[in-house]
């Protein structure tokens, strides 16, 4: 299975990616993980990315693209993969097409997790994160370690609204791009985690 997961921030892509990757026995490849691995290992491409990050700038597409390309070359991705968080725009999607053509392989599906902006804002603005272990939690104290909870800056309503605007401007157009290729499948991103996973697997099995 070669799968791309798309959807707005707060749709639960990271959570579903873990369950779907385990179900299909394929690696979950996220740009966040790739960045952290390259920075920690001090690779050439990681050091290039660090220059921009240390200046508080966005890492350019060409650096991010190369990181993903190198990750897809690793042996565990030879039989399939689940991409989460990339491509984020049409230029990256076109670059990804080039990678697939060079490998003479194709995607099985692009799974869009669909949820309204109002539901995302309600979901994320009520989220609290543990200061000690970093996990999201509900209530007065962290359910995992009992630590103090706080609201992250990027979980504040005005910040979420801006993130959704960026998504609509930059990332949403790739949905039409993959729909035109006949690869797009859409599943609701509301309900229990287990229900969302089951619906996604059922859709991918058709």
The tokens for 35 are: 């960045």
**Residue 76: which residues within 8 A CB-CB, separation 6 or more?**
27
Known active-site residue 13: yes
Three-state DSSP state, 90: helix
Q: Which of 123, 127, 141, 179 does the annotation list as catalytic?
A: 127
Known active-site residue 127: yes
Known active-site residue 179: no
Write the DSSP assignment of 109-163 as a string of letters. EEEEEE--HHHHHHHHHT-EEETTT--EE-SSB-TTT-PBEE--GGGSHHHHHHH
CA atoms within 13 A on the CB side of 145: 11
Cis peptide before 192 (omega within 30 of 0): no
Known active-site residue 163: yes
Q: Which of 50, 69, 88, 179 does the annotation list as catalytic?
A: 88
Q: Which of 103, 135, 152, 181 does the annotation list as catalytic?
A: 152
Q: Work out whether strand 81-84 and strand 28-30 pair parallel, antiparallel, or are unpaired.
A: parallel
CA distances (Å), origin 106, targets 98, 126, 185: 11, 39, 16
Q: Which of 2, 71, 128, 163 does the annotation list as catalytic?
A: 163
Known active-site residue 71: no
Between CA 91 and CA 126 the distance in angstroms is 34
Between CA 27 and CA 70 the distance in angstroms is 14
Q: Which of 2, 13, 71, 128 does the annotation list as catalytic?
A: 13
Catalytic residues: 13, 88, 127, 152, 163
């Amino acid at each position: 299975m070669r799968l791309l997961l798309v959807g707005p921030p707060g749709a639960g892509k990271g959570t579903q990616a873990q369950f779907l990757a385990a179900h299909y026995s394929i690696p979950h490849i996220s740009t966040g993980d790739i960045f952290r691995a390259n920075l920690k290992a001090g690779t050439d491409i990681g050091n290039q990315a660090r220059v921009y990050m240390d200046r508080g700038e966005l890492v350019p597409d060409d650096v991010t693209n190369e990181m993903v390309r190198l990750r897809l070359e690793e042996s565990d991705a030879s039989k399939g993969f689940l991409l989460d968080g990339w491509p984020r725009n049409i230029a990256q999607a076109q670059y990804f097409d080039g990678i697939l053509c060079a490998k003479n392989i194709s995607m099985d599906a692009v799974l869009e997790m669909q949820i309204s902006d109002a539901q995302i804002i309600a979901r994320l603005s009520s989220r609290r994160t543990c200061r000690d272990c970093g996990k999201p939690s509900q209530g007065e104290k962290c359910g995992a370690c009992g630590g103090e909870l706080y609201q992250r800056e990027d979980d504040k309503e005005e910040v979420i609204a801006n993130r959704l605007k960026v998504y609509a401007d930059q990332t949403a157009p790739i949905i039409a791009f993959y729909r035109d290729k006949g690869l797009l499948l859409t599943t609701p991103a509301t309900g229990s985690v287990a229900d969302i996973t089951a619906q996604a697997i059922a859709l991918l099995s058709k």
